[in-house]
């Protein structure tokens, strides 16, 4: 017998509140989600839906392994992490972009030497420069990537830009857009077949309330 409970993995943090608002708008009882304390597994009463809260890359891992049927995760994580799942819809929130940035007034493409790029997203950066046929050295940084060009570690950065405030306040600017980003709904490939009806119903409810 197939377990009929649908388990949804939500990205903790920035996307979390927007996703909970969306579930609320559908008419689900999100009281546990709004008052979760430190709990990581929450239920939506009366819907046979369980919600788990995870870090972005782990949302993909849980969905790929089939322990969660549905996931809500940023396109940034999907582009960096990849994986085998269906990307069903663009939820339209969590909008920002990947951009190549560096010191204000600078030009990444001038000169002949191989350039160094600092980023939290080495796969996205590699793909971007490969598509241009350009060889760059990539340095993986864990956070506050804007620091790297300021202290001379890199010629430029590939990072997420939302309002542009972090770049501006540090004397940096966008040199080139790399890719737009927003929250996406992903579904496990096996769940898509075995729990087709219920998943289609939930996806429809979500899309109607975007
Ligand atoms: C992200 C990104 C930028 C900032 C951009 O960092 O890496 O630093 O947000 O936002 P803005 O354009 O609105 O200023 P995040 O806060 O996720 O943390 P990080 O320092 O770990 O990268």
144 lines ligand 1 (CB under 6 A): yes
**Residue 107 tokens, joined:** 């030009």
Predicted local confidence at residue 70, as pLDDT? 98
pLDDT for 23-50, tens place per residue? 999 999 999 999 999 999 999 999 999 9
CB 31 within 8 A of CB 76: no
pLDDT surpassing 80 at residue 2: no
Kindly state if the Cβ of 166 falls inside 6 Å of ligand 1.
yes
Q: Give the H/E segment covering residue 126.
A: helix 122-131
Number of helical (H) and strand (E) elements in the chain, helices listed first: 9, 11
pLDDT band at 1 (very low <50, low <70, confident <90, very high): low
pLDDT score of 199: 97
pLDDT band at 117 (very low <50, low <70, confident <90, very high): very high
Q: Which helix (H) or strand (E) holds 179?
A: strand 172-181
Whether residue 135 is predicted with pLDDT greater than 70 in this model: the reply is yes
**pLDDT at residue 130, as a whole number:** 98
Whether ligand 1 lies within 6 angstroms of the CB of 131 is answered as: no
Domains defined for the chain, CATH in brackets: 6-94+182-208 (3.40.190.10), 96-180 (3.40.190.10)
pLDDT average, residue stretch 94-112:
96
Mutate to test the pocket of ligand 1, among 14, 100, 119, 160 (most ligand atoms within 8 A of CB): 160
Q: State the Cα–Cα distance between residues 23 and 44, nearest whole angstrom.
A: 9
> Does 159 sit in the ligand 1 pocket, CB within 6 Å?
yes
């Amino acid at each position: 017998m197939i377990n009929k409970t649908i388990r949804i993995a939500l990205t903790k943090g920035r996307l979390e509140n927007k996703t909970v608002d969306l579930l609320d708008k559908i008419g689900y009882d999100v009281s546990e989600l709004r008052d979760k304390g430190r709990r990581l597994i929450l239920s939506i009463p009366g819907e046979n839906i369980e919600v788990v809260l995870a870090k972005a890359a782990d949302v993909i891992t849980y969905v790929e392994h089939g322990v969660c049927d549905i996931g809500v995760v940023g396109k940034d994580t999907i582009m960096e992490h990849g994986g085998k799942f269906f990307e069903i819809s663009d939820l339209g929130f969590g909008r920002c972009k990947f951009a190549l940035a560096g010191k204000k007034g600078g030009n990444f493409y001038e000169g002949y030497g191989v350039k160094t790029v600092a980023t939290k997203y080495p796969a996205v950066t590699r793909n971007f420069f490969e598509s241009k046929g350009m060889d760059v050295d990539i340095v993986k940084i864990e956070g506050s990537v804007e620091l790297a060009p300021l202290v001379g570690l890199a010629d430029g950065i590939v990072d997420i830009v939302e309002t542009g405030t972090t770049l501006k306040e540090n004397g940096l600017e966008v040199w080139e857009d790399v890719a737009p980003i927003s929250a996406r709904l992903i579904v496990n490939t096996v769940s898509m077949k075995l729990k087709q009806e219920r998943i289609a119903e939930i996806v429809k409810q979500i899309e109607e309330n975007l």
